[in-house]
Amino acid sequence: MLNAITDFLGKVDNFVWGLPLIILILATGVFLTVRLRGLQIIRFPLAIRYMFSSDEEDGNGEVSSFAALCTALSATIGTGNIVGVATAIVSGGPGALFWMWMAAIVGTATKYAECLLAVKYRVVEKDGHIIGGPFYYIENGMGKQFRWLAKIFAVFGIMVGLFGIGTFTQINGITSAVGNFFDADSVHYINLLGRDYSITIVISGIILTVFVALVLIGGLKRISNVAQVVVPFMAIVYVLVVLIILGLNITKIPAALVEIVEGAFGLRAFGGGMFGAMIVAMQKGIARGIFSNEAGLGSAPIAAAAAQSKEEVRQGLISMLGTFIDTIIICTMTGLSIVITGAWDMGLEGVAVTTKAFQMGLPFPDKVAAFILMICLVFFAFTTILGWDYYSEKCLEYIIGNKPKAITVYRWIYIACIFIGPYMTVQAVWTIADICNGLMAIPNLIALIALSGVVVSETNSFFERGVHKQIK
């Protein structure tokens, strides 16, 4: 029965993430890049300056622009950067990393556009709190007649929160890492519903569920407060650790880069297998890239809408940095460490791949290397769980209205999904996540193409007014 379900999910995943969606994602990013004249590259230094400026404190919103970015990063920097990269390379070969880069480069323009639109079309509720995101720029930007498309997005957003990025993949990644470290051979186990599980996995799952519940009760401000501290600290720690691996293996980096590029175009396959290998690398790389940086998915705009920002373009520039930080920096470093050490081709899966890369690449005992990765993964995934609860709650709020009691019930359902996540297989978890992500992206990408004229108009107006020169 379980194998039949897994096979069915695999077929659905291949259909959702077929060539049409891959082309739509890349085409949207390329289209926006062209219309914005490479803004994500040309205005990159300005985005960095805005991220560290403090001249928007009197703008409308619930949290600062930096806090909004950290909230978005808390949801994006998670298992996708550690486990997702590994599963992409194992399934699609080293070439999958190349397609993650391509998706990120054009996806930065996509992220800019969707976050700009989120601020422009956000809504202030009667009680003063702000809600915004793809559902509102679809309804208010494209017109009321497209509200059905906005609702479809919101439904898929809830699904991604409950069954995709938000719960199953994160808690499964955390407990797998903890289990591999403390009880790799499952010597101490318990039988649940006919299957044996390490007691370590059970205990860590319960502890994480309790901590998540305690934070979620505090709402957005508590989530953003936690994110502002945890995300920058853990990102820096993780980057420094991987830099050690790359530094000690610096002579292997050129060969790894060649392997990545050759794998991206199927050059290491033979005959008719070249095109097939390229498609698999592209499919897995783009799917995991979108999972990791969420460009085009429509999630980051929900956080951006709450920023204390007076200018839509300014917030778009700040928010687009999330894609660069997530994929170009963190995912690249993870991917290179996996390719350099060869951990991707050892018959391992999930977090075990990255763990092996750390053990082979770091000059520490295996237990120490595994512990470092486990700590990074725990904090990354923990903040992702928090961020996606906020996203999916806003999607629900759009559908049913501002009903605190209903939101509280949903929050407990979300917590319940976290509780059961550790007991699902790695393959099933990531397949379900891919399906939900793909379905959520479609209505958002349609809206971005339809509203690209608004994005270009707002951008041109911003720079013509010289607002970008007024930075404290």
Give a yes or no: residue 472 inside a domain. Answer: no
Round to whole Å and give the CA distance between 416 and 319: 31
- One digit per residue, the tens of pLDDT, for the chain of length 472 reads 656 767 777 777 777 777 788 788 889 999 999 999 999 999 999 988 887 776 655 556 566 666 667 666 666 676 678 877 888 888 888 888 998 898 889 899 999 999 999 999 998 877 767 888 999 999 999 999 999 999 999 998 898 888 777 787 778 778 877 877 787 776 777 776 666 777 888 888 888 888 888 878 766 566 666 666 777 777 788 889 999 999 999 999 999 999 998 888 876 654 446 667 777 788 778 777 776 777 888 888 988 888 877 788 988 998 898 888 888 888 899 999 999 999 988 888 777 888 899 999 999 898 899 888 888 888 888 878 887 888 888 899 999 988 888 988 999 999 888 888 777 666 666 677 778 778 888 999 999 999 999 999 999 999 988 765 565 5
Give a yes or no: residue 412 inside a domain. Answer: yes
CATH number of the domain enclosing 154: 1.10.4160
Give a yes or no: residue 456 inside a domain. Answer: yes
Give a yes or no: residue 423 inside a domain. Answer: yes
Give a yes or no: residue 391 inside a domain. Answer: yes
Give a yes or no: residue 223 inside a domain. Answer: yes
Report which of 394, 436, 397, 399 is spatially closest to residue 301, judged by C-alpha positions: 394
What contacts 24+ positions apart, CB below 8 Å, involve 244-251?
Answer: 244/361, 244/362, 244/363, 245/337, 245/340, 245/341, 245/357, 245/358, 245/361, 245/362, 246/333, 246/336, 246/337, 246/340, 248/361, 248/362, 248/363, 249/340, 249/341, 249/361
Number of structural domains in the chain: 1
Give a yes or no: residue 133 inside a domain. Answer: yes
Give a yes or no: residue 5 inside a domain. Answer: no
Domain of residue 134, residue span? 12-186+193-460
Q: Which residues contact 460 (CB under 8 A, 6 or more apart)?
A: none
pLDDT of residue 243: 93
Report which of 346, 297, 336, 326 is spatially closest to residue 445, judged by C-alpha positions: 297
Three-state DSSP class for residue 124: strand
pLDDT of residue 219: 60
What are the backbone angles phi and psi of residue 267, rounded to the nearest 5°? -70, -15
Alpha helices for 249-272 (secondary structure H): 253-264
